[in-house]
Structure 1
Amino acid sequence: MSALPERDLPPGRHSVLKNHLLQEIQLHEVRRDQARSPRAATSAPGRWLRPGLMAMATAAVVALALAVVGVTDGQPASAQAAELLRNAASAAEQQDVPADIRDDQYVYIRSTVAATVHEGNGPGVLVPVHRREVWFSVDGSRPGLLEENTPGNRHQPLGVEVPGDNSNTNYRHLQTLPTDPDAMLRWLRKTAGGGTSNNQKTFVLVGDLAGESLMPPAVSAALFRAAAMIPGVELTPNTTDALGRRGVAVTRTDDGIREELIFDMRTHAYLGEREVAVRTTKDFTEGQTLSITAIQQRTVVDSPGQRPS
């Protein structure tokens, strides 16, 4: 990520990390140098960096060091994937967001996560699923907190966001994002950064936003409708999140890794995401799960460390 300071990334964002690493050797998030949103550092312009998964993302840097073999953008999103995303957008429009959110409050997100750790030679091993909790300042001006049952993340402060940064993920900034799908897609592409893998980075950014952030319903709906316009997006009819909840996923494959955004089969609510190796390399075996998440709760609380009653 050049010499500019970096920020943490969200859980499971090894692909962003992968994108970062591949940019360095040229292609998180190797979703994210270290974990999502704010934030123990700042972001580089035109690059998506968010707080989260410190230890998991660090381990993934080695695990996701794949050789660059070229990127194929593929055809327009399949009709089935586009339909699912439109249904997900309709479901997102019906979601409730706490009323009268104050700038001095915190977005609380609880999830279950796991990621592949690579040690020595041969394919990495998926660590046991475990709980992850994050607290993000509503306006990005206050330090947040990460609690995760991994070394170094049991009580990890998260830094503040840089005012005016286009890639900020605080709730106040997300309120300003487009509700028109075409405008949202332009914002996603600009924020994800350019290059030969821009479509994949844009899709990864969709997953980051859908996962570890709180978005206004109209903005969330625009996000999914914009995702339906990303080339190469397909449907995977049967998959599971980190809690074992069965769902259907929209997916995009790039450089040997398939990104899956998982939705409930009936309600089309967003459940979580998964990264899967689609070919065998020295680091992974075909079909191996590289990371997996399940979002369980999003709400607003008054202070970092406070849990909803």
Structure 2
Amino acid sequence: MAKPIIAVTMGDASGVGPEIILKAFQQSRLHEEAVLFVIGDTHILNRAKDFLNTHVEIVSIKEPEEAEQVKAGAVPCLDLHLLTSDIPVGEISKEAGNAAFRYLEKAITLANDRRIDGICTAPLNKEALHKAGHMYPGHTEILADLTGTDDYAMMLAAPNLKVVHVTTHIGLMDAILKINPERVYTTIKLAHDTLVRSGIPAPRIAVCGINPHAGENGLFGNGEEEEKIIPAVERAQDEGVQVFGPLPADTLFFRATRGDFDIVVAMYHDQGHGPIKVLGLESGVNITVGLPIIRTSVDHGTAFDIAGTGKADSASMEEAIRQAIMLSGTRENR
């Protein structure tokens, strides 16, 4: 069986992305499971070598297929020649913002052409992205736009908890207005289908309420659970999905980490992000579900404050690559 080919985009060159990529690529077990290469700039990766005081070889490649021929221990880089090594470290730069967009754009093209099996992204900086004229809130929206995807959701994964979001980067009042049965049903289905593809044939899905105690039969709120959530849960149940809720969020996440459920459907950003990040920023992974391609990412930002110091932890990057490999499977199975 041929190993899946995973492209790792370098993200914002002024942040910790290049450093955590080089650290992660030194984990031999990842290379045993997949063919890995970076989409970025060799100048920047060579600079990151100095930050890490490592002598790993950076090998420039022109096509993804060449990565398999690169000797063990070296880092293949599909060099887009967008940046020089004098780009500032730890500062917002429109050049770095544009390059981060172009790395992702190239990866999406390769994935759409089925030349790679998955994408794993290092963090970008939204302000730098906007300074470069790319007016997206972040990676997820770029991926949705460039793949023509309307129904998608953000999934966060930690070692013993997975969470998918009905709404994400909007204000809380706007989120409550946007939640409706169709969107909740779509998110439940996206969660179900993603876990089935990952090898869980009948995933157990728990759905959070919006109000304290999931409304407690009308005691709290204005009937949001009955109006916005219950019709979606019942529709999915009628289709044979093992879905439960709405359930009180204050106990649901404990139950999920205990193993009662395979994934939690959160209604808004902080409801889902908070528990994941309490479990550990260093091990969280962001997965975009609903896309026609596989995409995972670290669950942290560019960390400008420690960029260039070599201190950045690569655990989230390693887990993100591992999740991309798991979701991609072998090339024969695609």
TM-score category by the smaller chain? 0.3 to 0.5
Q: Of the two structures, which has the highest relative contact order with CA contacts closer than 8 Å and spacing of 6 or more?
A: 2
Q: Which has the higher helix share?
A: 2
Quick check: which has more Rg, 1 or 2?
A: 2
Q: Please, what TM-score do these two structures have when normalized by structure 2?
A: 0.30
